[in-house]
Amino acid sequence: MACCTALGIAPEALQAGIESFSAAFGRIERVEVEGRQVFVALVKNPIGFTQVLHTLLLDQAPKHLLIAINDNLADGTDVSWLWDVDFELLQGRVQSVVVTGTRAEDMQLRLHYALVDMARVSLEKDLDGALARGLANAGPGGTLYILPTYTAMLAMRQVMQERGYVGRFWED
């Protein structure tokens, strides 16, 4: 605000700019879906994933997560980096976690070793089913955080587009 004032930018113009801002697709993108807030945050390495978790956990409310991990070439075929993510941050902080993707079992195992309450974790191989379960878990008025790797994000975006929740990302 101080910089804008110093540059002669009116506070109303600053407010209008902030209110009209929308994130690039997959970069903490916010979408309204069936009365729920859905945030999509691309995860592709341990530091970035841990930072996403830190950001989500700034709000103390229990979280509903959908974690989609693929191991296609564009994602990197070695998912051992998941062991370097600080998933222990999620202990006692998640209401539900749906894991999906080609490496859903690896993600589920990692959460087990992070001592996340496994009664709150479900595995759904089908992306459409995973999205449906995540939305149901969040409930009306709730928030779902989708944390996908790159190709999982593209596939999830396709599912969301087919359901009419989002447009084609290159047209947004």
- Only one residue has tokens 């979408």, namely 31
The confidence score (pLDDT) of residue 11 equals: 75
Given CA atoms 115, 39, 163, 127 in this order, what sign does their dihedral have? negative
pLDDT band at 16 (very low <50, low <70, confident <90, very high): low
- Encode pLDDT of 68-107 as tens digits: 999 999 998 999 999 999 999 999 999 999 999 999 999 9
Taking only the tens place, the pLDDT of each residue in 18-66 is 444 444 454 568 899 999 999 999 999 999 999 999 999 998 888 999 9
* pLDDT value of position 67: 99
Q: For 66, left (φ over 0), alpha (ψ -120 to 50), or beta?
A: beta
Beta strands in 15-152 (DSSP E): 27-33, 36-41, 63-68, 94-100, 121-123, 143-148
Please give the Cα distance from 122 to 107 (Å, whole number): 11
Res. 9 pLDDT band, cuts 50 70 90: confident
Listed range (7-16, 122-131, 137-146) with the worst mean pLDDT: 7-16
Task: Please say whether the beta carbons of 79 and 47 come within 8 A.
Answer: no
Per-residue model confidence (pLDDT) at position 122:
98
Whole-number pLDDT of residue 18: 47
Rounded (10°) angle between helices 127-138 and 150-162: 80
Residue partners of 44: CB distance under 8 A and separation at least 6: 75, 76, 149, 150
Of 3.40.50.300, 3.90.190.20, 1.20.140.10, 3.40.718.10, the CATH number of 23-171 is: 3.90.190.20
Q: Look at the pTM and tell me if it is higher than 0.75.
A: yes
